[in-house]
Amino acid sequence: MAIWLWRSAASKNNFRFRASVVPWLMLPPKEKGSDVRSFFSLSKGMSRQINLPDANCNKCFSSKGWLMVINNDWSMYLLHPFSSLRIELPHMKTFHNWEALSTLDNAFYFLHKCVVSTSPSLESEDYTLVVIHGGTRKLAYFRPGFKTWITIDSCQLNYFDVIYYQGQFYAIDVWGGITAIDIKSDNTVVAKRVVADLSLELVPREFRMKFYLVESAGKILAVARKFRTEVTQTYANYGTTAFRVVEVDLSRNEKEWSPVKNLGNRALFVGDNSSLSVQVFDNFNFKPNCIYFTDDWQDLYFSSRFSEGVGRDMGIYNLQDGSIDRIETCFMCRSKCSLYHPFNPPMWIEESFQ
């Protein structure tokens, strides 16, 4: 049974959740081993310091304002960083293919993404958490009361991202195909591939290093990331060079892909977070028609070539002209922090309660 450690410390009268407006950027600690993390708000141009011992030396992902924390002993839980509320999750050993994990050098490689259907609250425990896991990038899910992770065997392999959209989960695979996953109340799962592979004409091969799914203004967008790397015996560098965005209207029988050239007054946020879209207002200090991205190249997190850590692949991609600006110029003079971390580079966090 999932343990809600914070029920006695919170009440329905003074605790409520709200939808995110603009995500905070959770930065690595200023000093190695520090429990204090900086959260920078692009819209407000300010930072806040939060004591987060749970995030120290542990791998984290984020979704709907919660962190999924993976401890060194491979235990796992959801953590709300702005209140320290905590929900225990089944141990990593409860995945059905745990034996394959035992051959890995680091358990942090095992999980790639998490997305929660809705932010957990005191009023309701009706939520589902889906993760992408293992070397074959399969899907598994958790619900309150579960003692193990349930692998979705009816889905194929090699997924890059998952979103929750209109009562179902949707996952995109390495070929650009989209699968709809309906996890019913009796825990039966209906999975169906609803969109065929993306054509090379829409998304060339060099853009297929990583896919994201984002709900934006009621539509599902697939975002493809182009990546370059330079590695020699004495030098290593990597980084994102471009994005492509395509849309599919799931309400149409054809379900065909359409290129997106302009996001209008919205901005997308991708990385080690569940991807999200935000409407840009005049008083916000960030740009519309842009993709804000953080470093999520997990294969490089433990490379000996980056002794100072990873986090360098972070920026703002302008969909109109293809230019890329560095994000850190927005906060480096106002938030004393480190940019690099061995396995927890900067990450977007939605502020899900007040």
User: What pLDDT digit, counting tens, does each position of 6-63 carry?
Assistant: 333 333 333 343 444 679 999 888 777 788 888 888 877 788 888 998 888 888 999 9
Cβ burial of 207 (10 Å; 0-12, 13-18, 19+) is buried
Question: What single string gives the DSSP state of each residue in 56-115?
Answer: TTSEEEEETTEEEEE-TTS-EEEEETTTTEEEEE--GGGSTTHHHHTTSS-GGGSEEEEE
145 assigned to some structural domain:
yes
- Whether 283 is covered by a domain: the verdict is yes
**Amino acid at the residue 63:** S
pLDDT exceeding 90 applies to what percent of the chain?
A: 47
* 14 falls within a domain: no
| Average pLDDT, rounded, for the chain | 83
Q: What is the pLDDT of residue 101?
A: 61
Instruction: Name the pTM for this structure.
Output: 0.89
Nearest to 223 by CA among 180, 268, 181, 254: 268
Helix segments in the chain, DSSP class H: 98-101
Which CATH number do you get for residue 73? 2.120.10
Task: Tell me, yes or no, whether 15 lies in a domain.
Answer: no
Whether residue 9 is contained in a domain is answered as no
Q: What pLDDT does residue 7 have?
A: 34
Asked if residue 7 is part of any domain, the answer here is no
Domain range for 91 is: 20-349
Number of domains comprising the chain: 1
